Amino acid sequence: MSPTEAAPLRSAPRAAAAPLIEARKVTRILPGIVPTTLVHGIDLAISSNEFVAITGPSGSGKSSLLYLLGLLDLPTSGEVLIRGQETSSMPEEDRAHARLTMLGFVFQFHFLLPEFTVLENVMLPMRALGRLSQADMRTRAGELLGSLGLGDHTSKRPDQLSGGQRQRVAVARALANEPPVILADEPTGSLDSKASEQVFELLRDLVEKKGKTVVAVTHDLDMANRMHREIKLIDGAVVTDEFQVRR
Amino acid sequence: MNLILDIAWTHVRGRVRQTGFAIAGVATGVGFSIMMASLMQGSQNDFTQRLINTLPHITVSDDRRTPPKQPAESFFAAAEIHGLTPEARRPGIKNPLASAAALEAWVPGAIAPSVRVPAIVRYASQDVAITVVGIDPRREALVSDLPKQLRGGITLSVLYRATNAIIVGDGLAAKIGSRPGANITLQTSEGMRLNAQVVGLFHSGVRGIDERTAYVLVKTGQILSRQTGLINEFRLRLSDPMISREIAARIEQDTTYKSVSWQESNEDLLNSFIIRNIIMFAVVGAILLVASFGTYNIISTITHEKARDIAIMKSLGLSESTVRSIFVVEASIIGIAGAIAGFVLGYLLCIALGTVTIKSPFMDADHLPMAYTYTHYLLAGAVALGSSVIAGYQPARKAARGNPVEIIRGAT
């Protein structure tokens, strides 16, 4: 049994047939002398096993929406639901627990902890969850890294790896607790075309072979066209939400 | 907890120089606090010990705290009494031998009877008011350190060597210009004059005693007071000087004679120790507070430098309390390491200070008196650890509460 199957969220029963992630009239306004609206009135639902691209021009609110869906930020109004459970009113500890068990993040930059080895970085979410023994964590982290072609680099530090390798380690770390959803913010934005393609294939395999849901913010329209669904934002609002024929 | 410790240790280890300075700051605070506490406590102990050794632990005199009740007061509900004249002659302790035996039966210590007579010493045109104490040389050693305080290798038996032999304090001898062998004159307020021969000097270390006290045989004291068989004082030395107050109270209750413990007779001095201790703790607290600023600084720096890592950890699902704990643990590591290093530094400073040679007209000791007690270490360590944790908590709290999105967006 995976950690997520054991306890998806701390406090509420799983809603039957509910979308995995749902946004209802989500608005996020940054306070200030001149308040800035990042996103407004977003309605969307993402189900299991979807491969979703969020696209749009710079400043359109793509990353803001991703952070709201990933419970890293709180909406000014509206609701974000994970498996039918409203999350905005949750205590911070429960939101952190939901991130730990339900969501995996991959950022444009790898954001690995520089003092820790590759293996230790991947083990970090597992250690925070604390459900596996130390030996089991090491085994699982080793297997994950092996499946991503990094089996020979487990004892290296992040600065000893190439950009593509680091990003794959970041993917492995995102998968450490077997979350059903991977949220990726420009995952190939800092990579060359070859490494970008490797990471894209990796994400697609997660959806097609492992049944995960991947939501990725991207500028790369070619990449977006190869995904199941494209949600396009302009000025913080959804302008198109299309399911694409090609898989 | 393992994860928290692991990350905290990694952060601290990754900044050797900064962490070293923070630890050195705490260690310096702890070390100097221990040294100061040791010095203050040492001088206080030394002084107290000197008081305890020099003075009898309890003095029972033939006085009473309240004047005796007049017969008229017993017969009438209200009585106005005029013209009472105090007894010119001291009454002395009734049945002194029986009383002393009764006390010896239960008091844990030794008792020596004595005669205390105020007198004026005259020598070479100098008049100095002193207290002459008539003692029994064989029992004196049981109740005071006088035998050890004698100068020139003499013993108390010198009092038997001459008629009206007298041992005077070296301060008094210097004041009147006498030396052993000199013949001095003692005169009491009742007009009794007595020639006495100085047979020795003593030095107690307490100026008031060295300049104003002389010892003679009990018999000589009785002659000086013109009262044969007079014993007006019992001096007691207890096995535990700290119970003097309780024993004195019981003696007074049993005998009705005024019974004064060494604590009571030095109440003002002992009260001044409380003020000294308050000053000491204030200074020690200030030193440790300054040291805690170093901890605050290092934790603030680490949280600032690690803002991105904090955001990532939060995005991975580590809670605010976990992130906060990481930095509080880091502060604790600095506090503990600083305290341990401070213990070593403090001990070395105490040893070094204890070897310093001093010459002071106010002290007999030739080295600074230091007190070695684990409570100084525990106290300084606890304050250092506590202040480090408090210093680390504020930046840790701020860092844990930060919005990870702002940091992730800015971390390009």
**Smallest Cα distance from B342 to chain A, Å:** 29
Nearest to A127 among B3, B308, B412 (CB): B3
Q: Backbone phi, then psi, for A183, in 5-degree steps?
A: -110, 125
Q: Is residue B299 part of a domain?
A: yes
* Cα-to-chain-centroid distance, residue A70: 7
Residue B259's beta-bridge partner residues? B60
Which of B14, B317, B412 is facing A99, going by the closest CB pair?
A: B317
Q: Is the pLDDT of residue B227 over 50?
A: yes
pLDDT of residue A175: 87
Q: What pLDDT is attached to residue A27?
A: 95
Q: Which residues of B touch A115 (CB under 8 A)?
A: 10-11, 14
What token pair was written down for B364?
């007999």
Question: Based on the domain organization, do B281 and B369 belong to the same domain?
Answer: yes
Probe site for chain A from B306, B323, B405, B409 (most A CB atoms < 10 A): B405
**If residue B119 lies in a helix (H) or strand (E), which one and from where to where?**
strand B109-123
- What is the bridge-based pairing of β-strands B193-202 and B165-169? parallel
Range list of H helices, B55-192: 71-75, 96-106, 137-143, 146-149, 170-176
Eight-class DSSP state of B306: T
- Answer yes or no: do B317 and B388 share one domain: yes
Cβ contact A99–B315 (<8 Å): yes
* Region B47-69 average pLDDT: 81
pLDDT of A10: 42
Separation CA B368–CA B36 (nearest Å): 12
**Selection from B206, B229, B236 nearest residue B134 by Cα:** B229
- The alpha-carbon gap from B319 to the nearest alpha carbon of chain A, in Å, equals 5
Residue where one domain finishes, among candidates B262, B290, B318: B262
Evaluate if residue A132 carries a pLDDT over 80.
yes
Are B133 and B257 in the same domain? yes
Same domain, B297 and B395: yes
For chain B, say whether A200 makes contact (Cβ under 8 Å): no
How far does chain A reach from its first CA to its final CA, in angstroms?
29
Domain assignment present for residue B146? The answer is yes
Give the residue from chain B lying closest to A95, CA to CA.
B317
CA atoms within 13 A on the CB side of A55: 21
Helix (DSSP H) and strand (DSSP E) numbers for chain A: 8, 10
Nearest CA in chain B to A102: B317
Which residues in chain A touch residue B308, judged by CB atoms under 8 angstroms apart? 111
Domain limits for position B346: 2-52+269-410
Contacts across the A-B interface (CB distance below 8 Å): 72
- Last residue of one domain, picked from the residues B235, B262, B289: B262
pLDDT tens digit sequence for A180-199: 999 998 888 777 788 788 88
A8, burial (CB in 10 Å: exposed 0-12, middle 13-18, buried 19+):
buried
Residue A232, pLDDT > 90, answer: yes
Distances in whole angstroms, Cα of residue B334 to Cα of each of A53, B178, B292, B326, B399:
47, 64, 10, 13, 18
Residue B364 to residues B357, B359, B360, B368, Cα–Cα distance (Å): 12, 8, 7, 10
Inter-residue contact B285 to B317 (CB < 8 Å): no
Angle at Cα A181 formed by Cα A57 and Cα A134, nearest 5°?
Answer: 130
d(CA B338, CA B382): 11
Q: What is the 3-state secondary structure (H, E, C) of A185-220?
A: ECCCCCCCHHHHHHHHHHHHHHHHCCCCEEEEECCC
Query: Do B252 and B278 reside in the same domain of the chain?
Result: no
Token duo for residue A132: 């596996």
Q: Is residue B77 part of a domain?
A: no
Q: How confident is the model at residue B88 (pLDDT cuts 50, 70, 90)?
A: low
Task: Give the integer Cα–Cα distance in Å for B117 and B61.
Answer: 12
Determine contact, residues A183/A215, Cβ cutoff 8 Å. yes
Is residue B109 located within the same domain as residue B246?
Answer: yes
Kindly state whether residue B83 falls inside one of the protein's structural domains.
no
Structure confidence at residue A21 as a pLDDT band (50, 70, 90): very high
For chain A, the domains span 20-243
Q: Taking residues B10-24, what's their average pLDDT? A: 82
For helices A193-208 and A163-174, what crossing angle results, to 10°? 20
Residue B71 lies in a domain: no
Mean pLDDT of B328-348: 92
Beta partners for A153?
A: none
> Helix or strand or coil: residue B95?
coil
- Closest residue of chain B to A91, computed from CA coordinates: B319
* Number of domains chain B contains: 2
pLDDT in tens, B127-180: 999 999 999 999 888 888 889 889 888 899 999 988 899 999 999 999 999 989
Share of chain A above pLDDT 70, in %: 91
Whether chain B has a CB inside 8 Å of the CB on A117: the answer is no
Q: How far is CA A196 from CA A159, A200, A211, B65, B346, in A?
A: 19, 6, 21, 100, 60
pLDDT, position A245: 57
Instruction: Tell me what pLDDT residue A4 has.
Output: 41
Per-residue buried b or exposed e for A132-163, using 16+ beta carbons within 10 Å of the residue's own CB: beeeebbebbbebbeebebeebbeebbeebee
- B403/A73 CB distance under 8 A: yes
**In a shared domain, residues B282 and B396:** yes
Top pLDDT among A38 and B360 is at A38
Interface of B with A (CB under 8 A): 2-3, 6-7, 10-11, 14, 308-309, 312-322, 403-405, 408-409, 411-412
Cβ–Cβ gap A124/B403 under 8 Å: no
Buried/exposed B231-249: b ≥16 CB within 10 Å, e otherwise: bbbbbbbbeebeebeebbe
Residue at B44 is within a domain: yes
Supply B33's token pair.
């606090």
Looking at the structure, tell me whether residues B323 and B371 fall in a common domain.
Answer: yes
Check whether residue B397 and residue B277 sit in a common domain. yes
Chain A nearest CA to B313, separation (Å):
9
* Fold classification of A20-243 (topology level): Rossmann fold (3.40.50)
Residue A14: count other Cβ atoms within 10 Å of its Cβ: 12
Is the pLDDT reported for residue A5 higher than 50? no
Q: Is residue B80 part of a domain?
A: no
Q: How far off is chain B from A73, nearest CA to CA, in Å? A: 7
Boundary-marking domain end, from B228, B262, B296: B262
User: What does the block give as tokens for A197?
Assistant: 């393609």
Tell me which chain B residue has its CA closest to the CA of residue A190.
B412
Question: What number of CA atoms fall less than 13 Å from residue A73's CA on the CB side?
Answer: 26
Residue B265: exposed, middle, or buried by beta-carbon count in 10 A (0-12, 13-18, 19+)? middle
Of A165-169, B289-293, B362-366, give the range with the top mean pLDDT. Answer: A165-169
Note whether A96 contacts B: Cβ–Cβ < 8 A. yes
Q: What gap in Å lies between CA B163 and CA A63, rounded to an integer? A: 110
In a domain, B84, yes or no: no
Between chains, do B309 and A127 touch, taking CB under 8 Å as contact?
no
Query: Are residue B273 and residue B299 in the same domain, yes or no?
Result: yes
Q: Which of B43, B58, B54 is nearest to B236 (CA)?
A: B58
Residue in A64, A70, A111 closest to B312 by CB: A111
* Pair B162, B183 in one domain: yes
B303 shares its domain with B255:
no
Residue B346 DSSP SS3: helix
* A30 in B contact zone (CB under 8 Å): no
Q: Chain A residues with CB inside 8 Å of B315's CB?
A: 70, 72, 99, 105, 107
> Is a pLDDT exceeding 70 seen at residue A1?
no
> A117: nearest CA in chain B?
B10
- DSSP calls for B312-325: HHHHHT--HHHHHH
- Percent residues over pLDDT 90 in chain B: 31
